[in-house]
Amino acid sequence: MKAIVHHEYGSPDVLKLEEVQKPTPADNQLLIKVHAVSINRSDWEGLTGKPLYARIGGLIKPNNKIPGSDIAGRVEAVGKDVKQFKPGDEVFGLMLNYGGGFAEYACKSERALALKPAGLTFEEAAAIPQAAFIALQGIREKGQVQPGQKVLINGAGGGAGTFAIQLAKLAGAEVTGVDNAEKLELMQSLGADHVIDYTKEDFTKNGQQYDLILDVIAHRSVFAYQRALAPKGTYFFVGGSVAILFQILFLSPLIRRITGKNIKLLAVQTDPKDLVYITELIESGKVVPVIDKRYSLSETAEALRYLGEGHAKGKIVITVEPDNKG
């Protein structure tokens, strides 16, 4: 089968379209013919090897040679222990090792996988998993946003952020989206009440305070974050600098004791019920998956470059196999 492979960390130039062995499902796995796969910042991090947490499992060379974590496709075969899916099912989900998706076929377990609703295209379904897991847990399950609360989403114009704005608005919050100037209009169109261009304004220095901050791209100190939190407010680190991650691990208990503010790492869970919940919101028109651009599998390097250069609004999707059923 054809797959996008990288044997070293680096720029999108190190990605090659190669002929590789088609995977064979283990007893607990499904073999999925991939129709679409979306790009996440985790793919960019896994490609470049930065931040350092992206090298877990491969300090010098990538362990996951085929990137790509969010797939949608049709089940071709199932291992003997697979209970919930059968050949022919249309499914979508998250590759749990954050790799293997930029390929014509992928093997994965039943975890973090759901049936694709007929009303969604493979591209729309592929745009959902990782971004929606982050947004749902940050805003709803762990964030427990209440009507009237002030919520700030840092990196709100990207994959997780565009879902998070919409979920926070649905919860009745007053939402501030932070991203670059190219994405301000998009954030407003999704319901953000206030938008901030991160190249012009530092949200931790403008005197505002928020009940919840969901940060997909953290690079400020924990002291700056606590300043931007309202009393009893919560800050969630989703991704960003490893130095900040360590600050959170070591300093946040002290900050909580002194100020009552919570600064935490959001460890994203992958419950398939979240996939069902978000697709219901999408099918009812309450949430829209934002797809900026579509590329073919052979254009994956270009697609990743577009994200890495800071242009991607919402999600970027790779169409691996156009769906002939329409």
Q: Are 96 and 112 in contact (CB under 8 A)?
A: yes
Least separation in angstroms between residue 308's CB and ligand NAP is: 8
- Tell me, letter by letter, the H, E, C secondary structure of 150-171: EEEEECCCCHHHHHHHHHHHHC
Between CA 126 and CA 39 the distance in angstroms is 9
Residue nearer to ligand NAP on the CB measure, 15 or 31: 15
Residue nearer to ligand NAP on the CB measure, 250 or 260: 250
C-alpha angle with apex 131: 130 to 136, nearest 5 degrees?
100
Q: Are 84 and 108 in contact (CB under 8 A)?
A: no
Q: Which residues bind ligand NAP (CB under 6 A)?
A: 40-42, 45, 130-131, 134, 154-155, 157-161, 178-180, 183, 198, 216-217, 219, 238-239, 266-268, 307, 310, 312
Least separation in angstroms between residue 242's CB and ligand NAP is: 11
Residue nearer to ligand NAP on the CB measure, 176 or 226: 176
Residue nearer to ligand NAP on the CB measure, 131 or 297: 131
Between CA 213 and CA 203 the distance in angstroms is 11
Residue nearer to ligand NAP on the CB measure, 41 or 74: 41
Q: What is the C-alpha radius of gyration for the chain, rounded to an integer number of angstroms?
A: 19
Residue 206, token pair as written in the block: 């403008």
What is the distance of C-alpha 204 from the center of its chain?
24
Residue with tokens 């940050």: 138
Between CA 213 and CA 222 the distance in angstroms is 12
Between CA 260 and CA 277 the distance in angstroms is 32
Least separation in angstroms between residue 129's CB and ligand NAP is: 10
Bridge partner list, 318: 37, 295
Least separation in angstroms between residue 237's CB and ligand NAP is: 7
Residue nearer to ligand NAP on the CB measure, 25 or 159: 159
Least separation in angstroms between residue 79's CB and ligand NAP is: 26
Residue nearer to ligand NAP on the CB measure, 11 or 84: 11
Least separation in angstroms between residue 123's CB and ligand NAP is: 16
Least separation in angstroms between residue 56's CB and ligand NAP is: 11
Residue nearer to ligand NAP on the CB measure, 183 or 261: 183
Q: Are 138 and 236 in contact (CB under 8 A)?
A: yes
Closest residue by beta carbon to ligand NAP = 158
Residue nearer to ligand NAP on the CB measure, 208 or 259: 208
Least separation in angstroms between residue 53's CB and ligand NAP is: 8
Between CA 185 and CA 195 the distance in angstroms is 9
What is the distance of C-alpha 102 from the center of its chain?
16
Number of helices (H), then strands (E), in the chain: 9, 15
Q: Is the dihedral of CA 273, 277, 280, 282 positive or negative?
A: negative
Least separation in angstroms between residue 21's CB and ligand NAP is: 27
CA distances from 263 to 241, 255, 277 (A): 15, 8, 27
